[in-house]
């Protein structure tokens, strides 16, 4: 589960600080504006806090998305397994008969089908000894 590192503001004297925790360890940092002056305005402090903590938030989001992706991959594998159980793949020995029954096969002549049957028989070798 992702750790949410939102942090919070506090003020010591006239300066705002941001405080956040990672794995139980607490960190604090004074907030400064672009000119390097301490931030003393709450609205500026909120903006600076969001900017400062953005890498932590992105890291948490990336970690969460990776976890979701892993769960999704697991569910897809489970779905594929269940579909294979409900509709098992055709055994190779039964493939030629299913091909002949198929309405979608090419319209082949008798000599072509004999040649296909011979080639399939050589390929499949269903229970025949060499």
| C-alpha–C-alpha distance, residues 7 and 56, integer Å | 10
Per-residue model confidence (pLDDT) at position 5: 55
Q: What is the pLDDT of residues 27-70, one digit of tens each?
A: 899 999 989 999 999 999 999 988 888 887 777 777 777 878 88
Rounded Cα gap, residues 100 and 7, in angstroms = 69
The phi, psi pair for 20, rounded to 5°, reads -145, 165
- Cα separation, 31 vs 44, in Å, equals 9
Domain spans of the chain, in order of start: 8-86, 92-124
Q: Considering the entire predicted model, what is its pTM? A: 0.41
Q: Calculate mean pLDDT across residues 78-89.
A: 89
Whole-number pLDDT of residue 14: 92
Count other Cβ atoms within 10 Å, centred on residue 113: 14
| Separation of alpha carbons 129 and 121, rounded Å | 12
């Amino acid at each position: 589960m992702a750790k949410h590192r939102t942090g919070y503001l506090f003020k010591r004297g006239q300066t705002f600080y941001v405080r956040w925790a990672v794995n139980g360890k607490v960190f604090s940092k004074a907030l400064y504006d672009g000119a390097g002056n301490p931030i003393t305005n709450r609205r500026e402090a909120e903006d600076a806090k969001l900017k400062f903590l953005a890498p932590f938030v992105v890291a948490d989001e990336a970690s969460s998305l990776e976890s979701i992706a892993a769960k999704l991959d697991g569910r897809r594998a489970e779905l594929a397994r269940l579909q294979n159980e409900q509709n098992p793949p055709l055994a190779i020995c039964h493939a030629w008969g299913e091909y002949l029954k198929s309405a979608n096969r090419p319209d082949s002549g008798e000599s072509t089908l004999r040649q296909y049957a011979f080639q399939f028989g050589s390929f499949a070798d269903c229970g025949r000894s060499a």
